[in-house]
Chain A
Amino acid sequence: MSKILVIAEHDGTKLSQATARCVTCASQVPGAEVTVAVFAADPAAVAAQAAALNGVAAVVTVAAGHNAHALAATLAPQVVKLAAGYSHVFGPSTSFGKDLMPRVAALLGVPQISDAMSVEGTHRFKRPTYAGNAIVTLEAPADRTVVATVRTASFEAATAGGNAPISAASVEATLPTHTRFVSISAPQATDRPDLSSAAKVVSGGRALASKENFALIFSLAGKIGGAVGASRAAVDAGYASNELQVGQTGKIIAPELYIAVGISGAIQHLTGIKDAKTIVAINKDPEAPIFEVSDLGLVGDLFQVLPEMEKLLG
């Protein structure tokens, strides 16, 4: 049997969709028994959401004031203690998991599999390298804990319908005081869907040419009920904020619909959208590499295409 511990990502009240996708990956490991661990100041609400996911056999909570903010240095020693008895420890390959899991792996003295994109056996996984240009199949040692981050875009989110038991665990670990949370500035809350989990995403690139023009992207996204993304070029140029960046070094997403506007399609961007079900490309350059991966391509000037599109969408 594979006893898998999934470390929940959450904001104190809501379990992230990335965690639900991570649960799906864990469920695919042969003989999986999946336990979700929730570290929080007050884990009740998040634990209830985790317990309701199909595929989750149990939820353990570690309630403590020092778990109010996810600091890798504080969480890692606790995860290591909790991991005793588990064959696998998984976390989502988000900024949370990428920060925490390597610290856990190093403390356990085991190598980590980053961005697991498919499960090939109890200890065998595929992962992308070179911005997705080379897919590597890796086999982890059978006698050690498998630590992995999960490429969430490769897995559907576990659906609700489960009813796993929730238990509280106390973890005796020496915690450092050398790392302190100060603040987090999230963009103003909107009713717009979250980029990481949105079903539809409209993304803008360098061709938008200014922050003001980027409003066209927000407008189309609003029209179709989608989230807004951006290429690295657009973020670097200051047209869009950093958390909107899609690609190798930004967010890896898998929406039903991805509309790339004025994005040429550098390989580093394409790796972030490859798992989108339908990719639409709008670009004035017919040779743009984005057309090599798009399902629907339109050569045209975005400043004419976008207003016309909104009009036709009614």
Chain B
Amino acid sequence: MRKILVGIKRVVDYNVRVRVKPDGSGVVTDGVKMSVNPFDEIALEEALRIRERGEAAEVVAVSIGPDDAQQQLRTALAMGADRAILVKTDAALEPLAAAKAFLAVISKENPDLVIVGKQAIDDDAAQTGPMIAALWDRPQATFASKVEIKGTTATIVREVDAGLETIEVDLPAVISADLRLNEPRYVKLPDIMKAKKKPLDVIDLASLGVSAEAGLKCVLVEPPKPRAKGIMVKDVAELVDALKKKGLV
């Protein structure tokens, strides 16, 4: 195949303990470390492996977000993407708007495959992949843990609640990457230098004719209710007693 598009979202880093703003308008992101959504790294790694097997010619990283998302796209280029596209918007897009923006890029780029992470670790929505597939009227293979390309079809093993499901899809298609699809490579210093020279195009969201307006109104953001403090028991006998008293064993 010629081309794979990979979705790269800029998110609050996995290790950051997120705090809610006192006014309930959102979470604190000022001065917080930002990274590539971990599932998107897995998506990119899979695309790179497909290219390295000689089954794809080009891997294009696509992000939708603020100007600063160029940092995450540079990371994607350092991992090995051939070029990158930023659809620039300062609005926090809902998955449906993000899918529409992605579709606009698809119609320009005509990829044979789109790979995205199964969810972003900020909004945890897990919607964008299937929404892209729906708007594009193409197959979706969500929660992929194995991908095999066979000419114009792909066979995907999906991690579902019951176990592992295998489906076959015609290309082009959308795949969403689950945790165990692969282990993303580490970026080496020379690759970071090389990545600076790779092409990164910036397009304004408005120029794609996609509205950034949110369909859902965010009324309030609040911290979760804490669980009541528990007790420490001194030994196994006390633990078993406590469980018996509660009628749990």
Contacts and interface: CB of A to CB of B under 8 A. Distances in A.
A312 interface: yes
Interface residues of B, number: 80
A183 B124 contact: no
A11 B161 CA distance: 11
Contacts, number: 242
Query: How would you classify the secondary structure of chain A's contact residues: helix, strand, loop or mixed?
Result: mixed
Interface stretch (B44-52, B75-83, B233-241): B233-241
Contacts of A176: 137, 139
A134 to B, nearest CB: 5
Contact of A232 (B123, B179, B232, B249): B179
A165 interface: no
Contacts of B124: 114-115, 128-131, 248
Given A103-B131, A185-B164, 15 more contacts: A71-B167, A103-B134, A110-B96, A111-B215, A114-B124, A129-B124, A136-B218, A179-B170, A182-B167, A184-B160, A184-B166, A224-B249, A243-B159, A248-B121, A295-B227
A7 to B, nearest CB: 14
A117 B167 CA distance: 31
Given A110-B96, A200-B248, A295-B231, A243 B239 contact: no
B162 interface: yes
A231 B78 CA distance: 31
Interface in A258-314: 267, 274, 278-280, 291, 293-300, 305, 308-309, 312-313
B109 interface: no
Contacts of B233: 296-298
Contacts of B248: 200, 256-257, 278
Interface residues of A, number: 84
Contact of B95 (A112, A181, A183, A185): A112
A210 to B, nearest CB: 19
27 contacts: A71-B167, A99-B142, A102-B95, A102-B127, A102-B129, A111-B95, A112-B96, A114-B123, A129-B221, A130-B18, A130-B122, A131-B124, A134-B18, A136-B218, A137-B221, A139-B216, A141-B215, A179-B170, A183-B165, A184-B160, A184-B165, A232-B179, A236-B179, A243-B162, A279-B230, A280-B239, A313-B249
Contact of B123 (A129, A280, A293): A129
Interface stretch (A24-32, A46-54, A90-98): A90-98
A213 interface: no
Q: Find the residue from B173, B180, B215 having the highest chain A CB count within 10 A.
A: B215
Interface of A: 11, 71-73, 76, 94-96, 98-100, 102-107, 109-115, 124, 128-141, 144, 176, 178-187, 196, 200, 224, 232, 235-236, 241-243, 248-249, 251, 256-257, 267, 274, 278-280, 291, 293-300, 305, 308-309, 312-313
